[in-house]
């Protein structure tokens, strides 16, 4: 009943294959990151000044909170759309599944700017969305310049990052388990809640982590579709760097964002831990 795993040696030997990637990461990621963090504590004079400034700045804090809130809403909306979508993908035939995959990957094939301008046109005053709502009797729906407008556009681009891990997890669920639950006396909703949902959790957690973290760092979409009054962290960092040339201050704000991201990842990891362990725990099938 003990698991037979590949011996440790070949794996250790394969480590040098990671060298090129590690080198690139070191130069283009860790070096700049270290520079920014260093400057955030070293300039204009050494000390926690920049951080105290950020934490004491009501505007900056409000921006951080707004960013977290927006990312949370985007993640929730994406999950609500992606879950049934991914579920449907596991039920249909191969060809329909291919088509559904194509549809969800569409945002990847349009350039970032083209996509955002398309949303700009759709969401603007007198645009398609406003007229569509007006046609069913709801007037004055202008998404442009609102958090809702930003959310809609960001959800679209985030969908594949949620759908793909969900679908991956769902394809691994034996549908016979639902039959088994039914025969044991569970009505469909119970079978879903007690069996299907927990088994799809690894997909939910990885989709949620990716979407939440990516949403924290969005820059162009909120800049174009939102308003400066409702700016998100990435825009504020951009303003500090580009307009105010405040590199240390931007670095401090960036570090705050990084810490929040790491905390979220750690929390999700704690939730994912037990779920994953119970399903893969112990040995392989004997």
Provide the binding-site residues for other proteins, judged by CB under 8 A. Answer: 1, 174, 176-177, 179-188, 190, 195, 198-199, 275, 278-286
Residue among 8 and 187 whose Cβ is closer to other proteins:
187
- Quote the least distance from Cβ 180 to other proteins, whole Å: 4
Nearer CB in complex with other proteins: 140/286: 286
Task: Give me the least distance between CB of 198 and other proteins, in Å please.
Answer: 5
Residue 95 or 285: which CB sits closer to other proteins?
285
Q: List Cα–Cα distances, 69 to 46, 73, 257, in angstroms.
A: 33, 6, 13
b/e map 242-256, b = 16+ CB within 10 Å = eeeebbbbbbbbbbb
To other proteins, the closest distance from the beta carbon of 191 in angstroms equals 8
Q: Which is nearer to other proteins, 10 or 189 (CB)?
A: 189
Of residues 1 and 4, the one with the C-beta less far from other proteins: 1
CB of 276 to other proteins, least distance (A): 10
How far is 135 from 59, CA to CA, in rounded Å?
A: 39
Contact (CB, 8 A) for 153 and 215: no
Q: Write down the least CB distance from residue 91 to other proteins, Å.
A: 15
Over its C-alpha atoms, the chain yields an Rg (Å, rounded) of 23
Q: Which is nearer to other proteins, 2 or 229 (CB)?
A: 2
Smallest separation (angstroms) from other proteins to the CB of 75: 23
């Amino acid at each position: 009943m003990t698991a037979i795993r590949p011996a440790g040696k070949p794996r250790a030997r394969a480590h040098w294959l990671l060298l090129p990637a590690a080198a690139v990461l070191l130069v283009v990621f860790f070096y700049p990151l270290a520079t920014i963090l260093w400057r955030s504590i070293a300039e204009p004079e050494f000390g926690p000044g920049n951080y105290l400034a950020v934490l004491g700045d009501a505007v900056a804090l409000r921006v951080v909170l707004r960013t977290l809130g927006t990312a949370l809403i985007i993640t929730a909306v994406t999950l609500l759309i992606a879950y049934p979508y991914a579920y449907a993908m596991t039920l249909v035939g191969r060809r329909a599944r291919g088509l559904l995959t194509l549809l969800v990957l569409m945002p990847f094939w349009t350039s970032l700017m083209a996509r955002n301008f398309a949303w700009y046109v759709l969401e603007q005053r007198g645009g398609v969305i406003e007229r569509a709502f007006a046609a069913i009797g709801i007037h004055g729906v202008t998404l442009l310049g609102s958090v809702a407008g930003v959310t809609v556009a960001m959800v679209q681009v985030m969908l594949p990052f949620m759908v793909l891990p969900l679908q991956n997890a769902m394809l691994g669920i034996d549908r016979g388990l639902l039959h088994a639950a039914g025969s044991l006396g569970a009505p469909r909703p119970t079978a879903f809640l007690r069996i299907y949902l927990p088994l799809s959790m690894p997909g939910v957690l990885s989709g949620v982590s990716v979407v939440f973290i990516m949403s924290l760092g969005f820059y162009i979409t909120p800049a174009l579709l939102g308003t400066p009054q409702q700016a998100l962290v990435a825009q504020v960092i951009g303003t500090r760097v580009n307009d105010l040339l405040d590199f240390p201050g931007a670095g401090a704000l960036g570090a705050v964002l990084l810490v929040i991201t790491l905390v979220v990842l750690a929390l999700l990891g704690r939730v994912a831990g037990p779920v994953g362990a119970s399903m893969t725990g112990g040995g392989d099938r004997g």
